[in-house]
Structure 1
Amino acid sequence: MTQRRFTQLDSVTPAALPRRLAAMLYDGFLVLAIWLVVAVAHLAFMRFVLGHSAESIGTGSLAVATLRLLLVCSTAAFFTYCWRRAGMTLGMQAWRVRVQTLDGGPISLFQSLMRCMVAWVSLAALGMGYWWVLFDAEKRSWPDLASDTRTVVLPKAGKKQ
């Protein structure tokens, strides 16, 4: 099976920090919406399937741990699906940013999961993993470096190659 490749490979440039942050802000709103749906589903499951009283939901360590795990997994699933399908999330689309392999193809499942794991670390380190773009000669973030991927800016739709 031949690995598909993205188009516009000659006209892409590394994505700068402001564009990445703008796309992250857009995606943050999407993730928040996903988290709300997951939290409501978790609450409904705890209340109506497991039969917990309304007052006891969220007080046990198991309920808190399962909700946190679901939130992390749903976030990883969202980004992994979007990156594998089109190389971009909705926020990345709005800012014409794409994640791709070093040779211009869609990233693998392993690369997607690696990006997700390192993204958490990058954010936990006060965003240092993304500020790294300012110091790297090729404008790579920690997720880019760890997953052997590139985050690039696509040309405007009207521009020809």
Structure 2
Amino acid sequence: MNLPAPIWRRCIAAVYDGLLLVGLWMVALVIDTVVRDLFALDRNWAALRAYLFLVGLCFFSWSWTHGGQTLGMRTWRLRVQRSNGLPLRWLDAALRYALMLLCWGIVLTPALLQLPQLAGRANAATIAAGALLAVAAGLLSTALDTRRRAPQDRLSRTELVVLPAESRR
């Protein structure tokens, strides 16, 4: 049986995968810009958000359903699996991805509220404090969970485990 992934290892793998996702989104934006320019189309922000969501969904879902690892998870010997130990199905992966984005959105909210166009909002400090409390509650619940499941793991019935080190010969 594999051990649950510690929080620090999860976070480092998430940073790796976050950088990779930003790179994929940048390529997707270049493709969007080229297509819009070729066909003289106006920017549709809702369609662009949906497109970027689908790019990330395809990346994470394919990785998680084909071996249970993204590049960052492979580097840190982590694998995502269903709570019963079986590999993720596409629906499991899609749910986990959507919940993961929601969780990271909450984590990044205090930093985003420092942007000039958002910092002046009357309720920015209250929203930031609420987000920080939610992050602290999520981290505490992950630390107290015997299988170290984050909120997105519990809600999607998945878990992140550490794979054994390969023996070097």
TM-score surpassing 0.5?
Answer: yes
Question: Higher mean Cα deviation, 146-155 or 124-133?
Answer: 124-133
Aligned Cα RMSD in Å? 1.8
Which structure dedicates a bigger proportion of its chain to helix? 2
1:1-161 matches, within 5 Å, as 10=1, 12-48=2-38, 50-52=39-41, 58=43, 63-126=44-107, 128=135, 131=139, 132-158=141-167
Q: 1:39-97, CA deviations, whole angstroms, 9 ceiling, x for partnerless residues? A: 0010011000x225xxxx64xxxx22221111111001100000000101000000000
Give the Cα separation in 2 of the matches to 1:120 and 1:90.
18
Secondary structure of 1:75's aligned partner: helix
Q: 1:134-154, CA deviations, whole angstroms, 9 ceiling, x for partnerless residues? A: 232321111111111111001
Q: Is the 8 A contact 1:99 1:150 kept in 2?
A: yes
Secondary structure of 1:126's aligned partner: helix
Give the Cα separation in 2 of the matches to 1:108 and 1:41.
29
Corresponding residue number in structure 1 for 2:114: none
TM-score, normalised with respect to structure 1? 0.80
Task: Indicate how the Cα distance of structure 1 residues 16 and 130 shifts in structure 2: closer, same or farther if over 3 A, else same.
Answer: farther
Give the Cα separation in 2 of the matches to 1:65 and 1:124.
17
Q: Is the 8 A contact 1:17 1:130 kept in 2?
A: no
Give the Cα separation in 2 of the matches to 1:137 and 1:85.
26
Q: 1:103 Cα deviation (Å)?
A: 2.6
Give the Cα separation in 2 of the matches to 1:134 and 1:84.
26
The AA in structure 2 aligned to 1:32 is V
Structure 1 ranges of 4+ moved more than 6 A: none
The AA in structure 1 aligned to 2:40 is G
- Between the two proteins, the alignment pairs up a number of residues equal to 140
Identical counterparts, % of pairs:
29
TM-score, normalised with respect to structure 2? 0.76
Q: Is the 8 A contact 1:16 1:133 kept in 2?
A: no
Unaligned runs of 5+ in 1: 1-9
The AA in structure 1 aligned to 2:167 is G
Q: Is the 8 A contact 1:102 1:149 kept in 2?
A: yes
Give the Cα separation in 2 of the matches to 1:28 and 1:117.
14
The AA in structure 2 aligned to 1:92 is M
